């Protein structure tokens, strides 16, 4: 079971022919800069780093609202590959409003349904990278919440 917004994106890609899939991924990649934090936005957690799995720095920003729903922003260095940019935009939109626990429990098999088997190859394993970073920040958030409750 995927969050509703993510499910609608998966459904869209499920029915796209290969050429339109590529075009849609490029369109998402083009829109990735719009996911950057706005001035004066406040976040519960920020995780900006450069990992070996990715060609450039990726920043993930998490804000959890009063209803416990997650909202994400992301920053991407100039060397980040197109597919990774596309996944950043897709996941910021698709996971918006899900709870951190729902995101942590999300199986990663939906990634191939979006990207398509032809584009998932060894050198593009970074398609999973953005999801792993989002899950990582959710885990830190939940761990801290649990620690607070115990204290």
Partner 1 sequence: MSTEYAHPEALVETEWLEQHLNEKGIRIIESNEDILLYDTGHIPGAVHIDWRADLQDPLIRDYISPEKFARLCGRHGITPETTCIFYGDKANWWACYALWAFRLFGHEKVKILNGGREKWKADGRKMTREVPNYPQSNYRVPPRRLDKEIRAFADEALAQSQAKKPLIDVRSPGEYKGEITHMAEYPQEGVLRGGHIPGAKSVPWKTATNDDSTFKSAPDLAKIYLEQCGLKPGTETVVYCRIGERSSHTWFVLTYLLGLESVRNYDGSWTEWGNKVGAPIERSGGS
- Residues linked to residue 61 through DSSP beta bridges, in sequence order: 46, 73
Residues 6+ apart with CB under 8 A from 99: 68, 69, 70
Of the two residues 83 and 137, which places its CB atom closer to partner 1 in the complex?
83
Could you tell me the smallest distance in angstroms from the CB atom of residue 22 to partner 1? 5
Of the two residues 7 and 108, which places its CB atom closer to partner 1 in the complex?
108
Which residues contact partner 1 (rule: CB under 8 A)? 22-23, 25-26, 29-30, 52-55, 81-83, 86, 118-119, 121-126
Residue 59 parent element (H or E): strand 58-64
Q: Counting beta carbons within 10 angstroms of the beta carbon of residue 134, is it exposed (0 to 12), middle (13 to 18) or buried (19 or more)?
A: buried
Of the two residues 10 and 55, which places its CB atom closer to partner 1 in the complex?
55
Could you tell me the smallest distance in angstroms from the CB atom of residue 55 to partner 1? 6
46: helix, strand or coil: strand
Could you tell me the smallest distance in angstroms from the CB atom of residue 7 to partner 1? 24
Could you tell me the smallest distance in angstroms from the CB atom of residue 65 to partner 1? 33
């Amino acid at each position: 079971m995927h969050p509703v917004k993510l499910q609608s994106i998966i459904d869209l890609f499920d029915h796209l022919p290969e050429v339109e899939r590529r075009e849609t991924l490029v369109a998402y990649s083009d829109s990735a800069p719009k996911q950057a934090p706005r001035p004066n936005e406040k976040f519960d957690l920020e995780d900006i780093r450069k990992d070996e799995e990715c060609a450039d720095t990726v920043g993930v920003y998490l804000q959890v609202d009063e209803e416990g729903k997650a909202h994400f922003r992301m920053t991407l260095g100039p060397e980040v590959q197109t597919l990774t940019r596309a996944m950043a935009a897709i996941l910021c939109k698709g996971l918006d409003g899900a709870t951190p626990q729902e995101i942590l429990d999300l199986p990663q098999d939906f990634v191939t349904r979006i990207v398509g088997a032809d584009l998932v190859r060894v050198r593009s394993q970074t398609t999973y990278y953005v999801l792993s970073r989002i899950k990582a920040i959710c885990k830190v958030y939940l761990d801290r919440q649990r620690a607070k409750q115990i204290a």
